[in-house]
Amino acid sequence: MSHDYHLAPLANPIHREGPVVLLILDGYGIGKNEAKENPIVAANPVVINELVHQAKEHHLYTRLKAHGPAVGLPSESDMGNSEVGHNAFGCGQIYSQGTKLVDESFASGVIFRTPQWHQVVAETAAHNGTLHMFGLLSDGNIHSHMNQIFKLLDGAVESGIHKIRMHVLLDGRDVSPTSGLVYINQLEEKLAKLREHNVDARIATGGGRMYVTMDRYGSDWKMVQRGWELMVHGVVMPEDVTSEYSGYFRSATEAIELGRRLWPAKQDQYNPPFVVVDEAGQPIGRMQDGDAVINWNFRGDRAVQITQTFTAPDAEFTHFARGAMPRLTYAGLLEYDTEVHIPRLFLVPPPEIHHTMGQYLCASGVTSYAVAETHKYGHVTFFWNGNKSGCIDEHLEQYDCVESLPNAQTESHPEMKAPEVTDKLVEAIRSGRFRFVRCNLANPDMVGHTGNFQSCVRAVQCMNQCVERVAREVEARGGILIITADHGNVEIKDNKGSKTSHTCAPVDFAVRDFAYHGEYTLLPEGQPTADADGLGAGLSNVAATVMNMLGFEAPAVYRKSLYVPAH
C-alpha cells in the first residue's frame, strides 16, 4: 500500500499570521563560555544571545544532539556534519548513514561478494590492468575513513589484484589542518606490507581536497579538472608548477615536505598537487585502457563531480576538455546520487531515506521556501529532501540559491554571501507566500573550516546582523523564528589556526514566537523524549516539532515532537 502523506490536524493548533522560519546557522555549536577559545563569545552576538535568552525564559528552548548515533553515525566519537544533519532535519528520523552501512558491509563481508565488486576485479584481471583507488585520506569519517581504505586494499589483494595505485587527497578540514603526513605514513606502511607480498602498490598522485577534486554543487570545476589531470593523465597543471615546486616527485612525502617548506602557512586542504614519478621521470600511476577505479569516499556531495568526469559521455560533459579518455571501469564506494544514479557501479547501497518532511508538507498543501548560498544549497534542498534534488511540488515550493564566492575567499570575506541570502529570505517572508521557510547560513561552518579565529569572529558578527534582520521581518509578519544548527564547528578555535574541523557539540534550538500566548512550551533540556531509543533530543526531533507548530500531528514514523501543548 502506498504511504499516505496527508498530515492530520493537531487537536488544538496554534494559528499564526506569519510563517514558521527555521534558520540553520551551519556549524554554530554550543561551546565553552571563554572568549579566547570561542569565537562566538568573542563576537558577542547580542541579537542571537537575546533570542536564546528569551527562548529560555519562555521554556521555548532546548539543546539538540547533532553528532554520533543521534544522526545515524557509528559512535559517540563521530562529529556531526551537514549531510547527516540536514538529512535528520528533513526526514525526522534516524537512518544509518553511509559510513555505518559501509562498516557493516565490511563486517559481514557482503561488499566483497557483490557482483559490482566482482566486476571491478574481473575487468582489471581481464586486461591485466591496474586498480586505482582515490579519495580523502583521513579518519575524519565525514567523507571517508582510513579503516575502510585499508579494508578495500586487503579485499583487492585477496581478490588477486596485483597492481594498485593510490591517488590521495589530503584532508586538514575534518581532521587537524597539517596532519596529512600522519595518514600518508600509515598508508605507506600498509602499502610496503603489500609489496612484501608481491603486490605492486604505491601512492601515485595527491593534493589538497579543497584545491584538487572535491568540489561540490558545481562551485569550482577547476578543482575537479586538477584532480582529473593528475589521476588520469599524470599531469600537474602548469599554474601549479614553479621553479621551486616542480609538481613531480619520487614520493608523496617528498612532495608534501617541500610544500611545507615553501608555504609553511598552507593547510593540507590546499596542498599543491603532485605526481609521483619513476627514475625515468614517468608518472607511476597514469590510467590506461582496462584499468579500474574505485572512489573510496562514501559521501556524495563532493564525489559527484569527479564521478561525472569519469563516467559522463562526451556529449554530456561540458565542464572542461578531458583529453584522451582511457577505457576504465569506475565504481563508487556508495551511490552518490540516487536519483540520477551516479555512478552506475557502486559497492554499497546508500541509505534510502523515506517519508521526508517535504513529502508530508506538500501532500498537505503547505507552501514552503528554501534558500542558501551555493556551498550549502544542496544541504537545504538535496540533503533536506532525503538526497533528492529539485522541488517535490513546484506549485507549493520555491528554492533559491545565491552564488557563492570562490572557496579561497572564505577566510578574507567571512561575511560570504550571507547578506544576499538574508535579502532573499526576508523577501520570501515578506511575500506572505510561504508557511514554512528554511534557510542555511553557511558562514559559521565555512569560515570555521579555515581555523582563522578573527575571521570566525567576523562571521558570527555577520550572523548576528542577519538574524536581526530576519527576526524583525518575522515579527512584522507575526510568525515564528527558530534558530538552530546542524553541528558544531565555529565554537572552538585557537589563535594558531589549529582547529578546522567540526565538533561533537550540541546545538541550540531556540524558538521566538512573536504571537506567543503560552499555548505550548518545549520539552526541557535533558528531559527524555518520548522516543523508545533513549537517545534524547536531537536534530531528528525537529521535523515533528515544526509540523506541530504548523498545526499538524506528526507522522507516527517520526521521532517525537518537542512541542508540549499547555493543556
Ligand X SMILES: O=C(O)[C@H](O)COP(=O)(O)O
Distance from C-alpha of 48 to C-alpha of 459, rounded to nearest angstrom: 13
**Positions in 286-305 near ligand X (CB under 6 A):** 302
**What is the signed CA dihedral for 244, 248, 251, 255, rounded to 10 degrees?**
30
Q: Which of 152, 416 has the CB closer to Mn ion?
A: 416
Cis amide prior to 343 (ω within 30 degrees) = yes
174 binds ligand X (CB under 6 A): yes
Q: Which does 491 bind (CB under 5 to 8 A by kind): ligand X, Mn ion, none?
A: none
Cα separation, 143 vs 107, in Å, equals 19
* Residue 455 among the catalytic residues: no
Task: Specify the stretch interacting with ligand X by CB under 6 A; choose among 58-66, 76-84, 276-284, 386-394.
Answer: 76-84
HEC string of 401-468 equals EECCCCHHHCCCCCCCCHHHHHHHHHHHHHHCCCCEEEEEECHHHHHHCCCCHHHHHHHHHHHHHHHH
CB of 170 to ligand X, least distance (A): 13
Decide the pairing of beta strands 292-295 and 329-334: parallel
Cβ 216 to ligand X shortest distance, Å: 7
- 67 labelled binding-site residue: no
Choice between 132 and 379, CB closer to Mn ion? 379
Whole-number Cα distances in Å, 497 to 177, 236, 448: 8, 28, 10
d(CA 123, CA 146): 25
Residues 516 and 390: their CA atoms lie apart, in Å, by 34
Cell numbers describing residue 154: 586487503
The residue from 82, 225, 381, 540 that contacts Mn ion (CB under 5 A) is: 82
| 375 appears as a binding residue in the annotation | no
Matching residue, cell 502523506 = 5
Q: How many residues in the shown chain lie near Mn ion by CB under 5 A?
A: 4
Q: Report in angstroms how near the CB of residue 415 gets to ligand X at its nearest.
A: 18
Q: Would you call 318 helix, strand, or coil by DSSP?
A: coil
Q: Is 302 annotated as a binding residue?
A: yes
Residue 560 interacts with ligand X (CB under 6 A): yes or no: no
Residue 78, marked binder: no
Known binding residue 376? Answer is yes
The catalytic position among 2, 82, 108, 498 is: 82
Query: By CB under 6 A, is residue 170 in contact with ligand X?
Result: no
Residue with the shortest CB distance to Mn ion: 82
Applying CB under 5 A, the span of 82-90, 269-277, 307-315, 509-517 interacting with Mn ion comes to 82-90
Single-letter residue type at 151: K
Residues 317-356 that bind ligand X (CB under 6 A): none
Q: How many residues bind ligand X (CB under 6 A)?
A: 9
407 binds Mn ion (CB under 5 A): no
Q: What gap in Å lies between CA 304 and CA 223, rounded to an integer?
A: 13
Cβ 488 to ligand X shortest distance, Å: 10
Candidates 20, 25, 142, 199; binder of ligand X (CB under 6 A) is 142
Enumerate helices (H) and strands (E) in the chain, giving the number of each. Answer: 16, 17
Which residue type is seen at 12? N
- For residue 560, count other CB atoms closer than 10 A to its CB: 18
CB of 487 to ligand X, least distance (A): 7
Measured over the CA atoms of residue 146, residue 93, residue 26 and residue 66, the dihedral's sign is: negative
Q: CA distances (Å), 456 to each of 44, 140, 146, 413, 509, in order?
A: 12, 21, 29, 10, 21
Distance between CA 515 and CA 175 in Å, rounded? 44
Name the minimum Å distance from CB 77 to ligand X: 16
Q: Which of 16, 20, 26, 285 binds Mn ion (CB under 5 A)?
A: 26
- Contact between 541 and ligand X by CB under 6 A: the answer reads no
DSSP state string for 469-536: HHHHHHHHHT-EEEEE-SSB-TT---TT----S-B---EEEEEEETT--SSEEEPPTTPPPS-TT---
Q: Identify which of residues 397 and 445 has a Cβ nearer to ligand X in the complex.
A: 445
173 binds ligand X (CB under 6 A): yes
CB of 172 to ligand X, least distance (A): 10
| Residue 387 binds Mn ion (CB under 5 A) | no
Q: Looking at 82, 99, 305, 309, which residue binds ligand X (CB under 6 A)?
A: 82
**DSSP code of 327?**
-
Which residue in 78, 291, 473, 486 binds Mn ion (CB under 5 A)? 486
Interacting residues toward ligand X by CB under 6 A: 81-83, 142-143, 173-174, 302, 445
Output the known binding site: 26, 82, 143, 173-174, 209, 216, 299-302, 376, 445, 449, 486-487, 502
Interacting residues toward Mn ion by CB under 5 A: 26, 82, 445, 486
Output the known binding site for substrate: 143, 173-174, 209, 216, 299-302, 376
Catalytic residue IDs: 82
Output the known binding site for Mn(2+): 26, 82, 445, 449, 486-487, 502
